[in-house]
Amino acid sequence: MTMNSTDGCQATTAGIGAAEALFHSLSDGTRLAIVRRLAQGEARVSDLVEQLGLAQSTISKHVACLRDCGLVDGRPEGRQVFYSLTRPELLDLLASAEILLAATGSAVALCPNYGTDSTTMTEVRGE
């Protein structure tokens, strides 16, 4: 199935399920912070705990999610595991997101459904 937009752009819906899963895996701020840190090089959970200032259980849970999605891989070394990004294309995706966010200005941040103030807006509307 193909979707047509008003500008003639066509997008296939065949991969929407996988794309939805990918974007959902990156939709959590903690997971995104982990990905950004791993973009700098491999790290242990203890390194991520120290650098991100979050509980070990929180970091472990989110690293496991990213690993289950195939975005992060672990390299055992003795009793430690060093995590890294599995695909360099993830860095391209993040760079493209930054470009898109710069181009849209504050539109995404002000989105009433998913923007940074969406919780406040929902409370104001009484939903």
The whole model's pTM is what? Answer: 0.75
Is the CB of residue 32 less than 8 Å from the CB of residue 26?
Answer: yes
Residue 106 clears pLDDT 90, i.e. is over it = no
Q: What is the pLDDT of residues 64-102, one digit of tens each?
A: 999 999 999 999 999 999 999 999 999 999 999 999 989
Domain coordinates in residue numbering, the chain: 16-86, 88-127
State the DSSP string of 12-76: ESTTHHHHHHHHHHT-SHHHHHHHHHHTTS-B-HHHHHHHHT--HHHHHHHHHHHHHTTSEEEEE
**Alpha-carbon 8 to chain mean position:** 29
Specify whether domain 16-86 bears CATH 1.10.3720.10.
Answer: no
